Amino acid sequence: MVSKSPKLDIVFIPFTAPSHMMAMVDMARLVASHNVRVTIIITTHNALIFKNAIERDIKSGNAISLHVIPFPFAKVGLPEGIENLGSLTSPDQSSKVYMGTMLLQKPIEETLRERVPDCIISDMFYPWTTDFAAELGIPRIYFQGSSFIAQCAVDSLVRHAPHENLKSDTETFIIPGLPDCLELTRLQLPDHFRQTKTPYGAILGVIRESESRSYGVLMNSFQEFEPRYIDHFKKVIGRKAWAVGPASLTLSKLDKAERGPNVIVDAHECLTWLDSKEPNSVLYVSFGSLAKFCASQLHEIASALEASNHSFIWVIANEGAGDEKWLQEDGFKERMNGMIIRGWAPQVLILEHAAIGGFMTHCGWNSVLESVILGVPMVTWPLYADQFYNEKLVTQVAKIGVGVHPEAYFSPRDEERKVVVKREEIVKAVIQVMDGGDEAVKIRERAKELGEKAKRGVEVGGSSYNDLERFIDELIQFKTTHIVV
């Protein structure tokens, strides 16, 4: 039962990658909890991932629902059921999932013409929603499942191109005009910055252009984490933005246990294993829902974990893990003081266990936020996308982690970029976070403090809570001044 009549009617359109979808559904649920009617447009198999959680929200009185549309498998040549980037069974399926997602434009438009909402909140990968919302006379808000620091860094790179005219790919440069002195090399940038024209670069250009014409952006971040970048984004880039996260703070115990496309691992088994460990003694190692390392890099990680002498839980994605030789050959598996998880791990449940003392992460924004919320210091190992910028926020700005300093943007198919991070670098960072020395204690204290601030932010009267209320009020204002007749 909905206690009060909802103040607004908002449609969310998530993209079909696990982290994009999970973050956006968390956000949709958070918005619905502020007495807003929320509809999430989602494809059939992806809907199954969230069905239970949404049913629980409905029972608790929130006006939220899933509007399911079929994914065009046949049209793009995909087997039924493969409709998200996390469930691919071969690399060539990735572009087909993108294509299928593009084909959703027509059915989504038809749905929304039949029942026009007050606002569309869509993933960055639906740039067409800007013009469509304008046609309907409603605002399009884009959702960035990323950080303000990343948005500011990319804007600066596009505007000032500091990576051009360098002597080499390994020469460092400073990203101009930002609140901190953030250094990168060209080798750490994605292809679309290193080469003049790439297909993905062209898509990103379209996305950026559509974002610049959108009403504003809803961000899964919070004021206390990156205040100067929020300020920079609003004042220098000049966009409307609301920092209302971390949205995953609203997850219940059951939500956490069910989180993800296909929870393969028995949460009970790894939590019981963690129960037998001392507080802060175990390192959790995971590189998100998509990254797949080559065997030689996995071997370096294994050797580093062994040399650093800490217990660990290490999540290795299923695909690409066929070659187990590197694990078996020297008896690592028999000797190891840890647990290897194949496939999907109950990450949030693991991170919130008292035995976890550190998180070796690729700095995907959701993983960073989950670590921050739970006050877990990080060993940072950025791979691609926004991760090199997120890592700067963690290690250099908030100082709640230590980096392994990969030399290159992760690109397993690019020979030039196949730079394996050596075990010595990994061990050094792990020890700095896990060894309990003075610096490690300070990092842990800062991480705990930031976690408390994150929690206070989403409570009534907190910074994120208030920003979400401001966002809703502004949309109500828009609605009352733009009545479509």
**Residue span binding ligand UDP (CB under 6 A) among the ranges 59-67, 101-109, 185-193, 339-347:** 339-347
The residue from 45, 186, 259, 444 that contacts ligand UDP (CB under 6 A) is: 259
Closer of 203 and 263 to ligand UDP (Cβ)? 263
Distance CA 53, CA 104 (A): 24
User: Where are the alpha helices (H) located in 60-169, listed in sequence order?
Assistant: 73-76, 93-102, 105-114, 129-136, 148-160
Q: Is the Cβ of residue 344 or residue 388 nearer to ligand UDP in the bound state? A: 344
The answer to whether 286 contacts ligand UDP (rule: CB under 6 A) is: yes
Task: Check binding of 22 to ligand UDP (CB under 6 A).
Answer: yes
Q: Which is nearer to ligand UDP, 119 or 345 (CB)?
A: 345
Give 119 or 341: the residue with its C-beta nearer to ligand UDP.
341
Among 93, 289, 432, 463, binds ligand UDP (CB under 6 A): 289
Answer yes or no whether residue 388 interacts with ligand UDP by CB under 6 A.
Answer: no
Among 9, 20, 57, 310, the active-site one is 20
Least distance between ligand UDP and beta carbon 215 (Å): 25
Whether 123 is catalytic: yes
Tell me the closest approach of the beta carbon of residue 362 to ligand UDP, in angstroms. Answer: 6
Among the listed residues 24, 315, 393, 430, the single contact to ligand UDP using CB under 6 A: 315
Residue 218 contacts residue 471 (beta carbons within 8 Å): yes
Q: Count of H helices and E strands in the chain?
A: 21, 15
Verify binding: residue 147, ligand UDP, rule CB under 6 A: no
Strands 119-123 and 338-342: unpaired
Exposed, middle or buried: residue 79 (CB in 10 Å: 0-12, 13-18, 19+)?
exposed
Q: Does 260 bind ligand UDP (CB under 6 A)?
A: yes
- Tell me: does residue 290 bind ligand UDP (CB under 6 A): yes
Decide: 7 and 36 in contact? Cβ < 8 Å: yes
Burial 230-261, CB ≥16 within 10 A → b, else e: bebbbebbebebbbbbbbbbbbeeebbbbbbb
When asked if residue 404 is in the footprint of ligand UDP (CB under 6 A), the reply is no
Distance CA 419, CA 355 (A): 32
What is d(CA 447, CA 340) in angstroms, rounded to the nearest whole number?
26
Q: How far is the CB of 287 from ligand UDP (least distance, A)?
A: 7
18 binds ligand UDP (CB under 6 A): yes
Which of 53, 175, 182, 345 touches ligand UDP (CB under 6 A)? 345
Question: What does the block give as tokens for 247?
Answer: 């949205």
Is residue 370 close enough to count as binding ligand UDP by CB under 6 A?
Answer: yes
CB 407 within 8 A of CB 388: no
Q: Is 299 known to be catalytic?
A: no
Peptide bond between residue 246 and the one before it cis (omega within 30 degrees of 0): yes
> Residues 380, 382, 388, 391: what is their CA dihedral angle, to the nearest 10 degrees?
-20
At closest approach, how far in Å is the CB of 318 from ligand UDP?
10
Residue 363 beta carbon to ligand UDP: minimum distance, rounded to whole angstroms: 8
Determine which residue in the list 120, 348, 374, 429 makes contact with ligand UDP, applying CB under 6 A.
348
Classified as helix, coil or strand, 470 is helix
Q: Write the DSSP assignment of 90-120 as a string of letters.
A: STTHHHHHHHHHHTTHHHHHHHHHHS--SEE
Q: Which of residues 83 and 370 has its CB atom nearest to ligand UDP in the complex?
A: 370
Which segments within 177-270 are labelled E, that is strand? 183-185, 216-219, 241-243
Which contacts qualify for 183-188: CB closer than 8 Å, 24 or more apart?
184/388, 185/407, 187/407, 187/408, 187/409, 187/417, 187/419, 188/382, 188/388, 188/406, 188/407, 188/408, 188/409
User: CA distances (Å), 286 to each of 263, 361, 364, 376, 428, in order?
Assistant: 15, 6, 10, 14, 18
- Binding piece for ligand UDP, criterion CB under 6 A, among 148-156, 176-184, 282-290, 422-430: 282-290
Per the DSSP assignment, residues forming a β-bridge with 122 are: 13, 142
Structure tokens at 236: 């220098």
Rg (CA), the chain: 22
Structure tokens at 96: 């087909």
Amino acid code (one letter) for 457: G
Query: Which of 210, 297, 347, 464 touches ligand UDP (CB under 6 A)?
Result: 347
Verify binding: residue 280, ligand UDP, rule CB under 6 A.
Answer: no
Q: How far is the CB of 479 from ligand UDP (least distance, A)?
A: 32
19 sits near ligand UDP (criterion: CB under 6 A): yes
User: Between 19 and 129, whose beta carbon lies closer to ligand UDP?
Assistant: 19
Taking CB under 6 A as the rule, does residue 380 contact ligand UDP? no
How many residues lie near ligand UDP (CB under 6 A)?
A: 19
The span of 52-60, 110-118, 189-197, 366-374 binding ligand UDP (CB under 6 A) equals 366-374
123 touches ligand UDP (CB under 6 A): no
Using CB under 6 A as the binding rule, whether residue 9 contacts ligand UDP is answered as: no
Q: Exactly one of 123, 155, 386, 467 is catalytic; which is it?
A: 123
Q: Is 367 in the site for ligand UDP (CB under 6 A)?
A: yes
For ligand UDP, the closer CB: 288 or 358: 288
How far is Cα 401 from Cα 371, in angstroms, rounded to an integer? 10
Contacting residues toward ligand UDP, per CB under 6 A = 18-19, 22, 259-260, 286, 288-290, 315, 344-345, 347-348, 364-367, 370
Active site residues: 20, 123
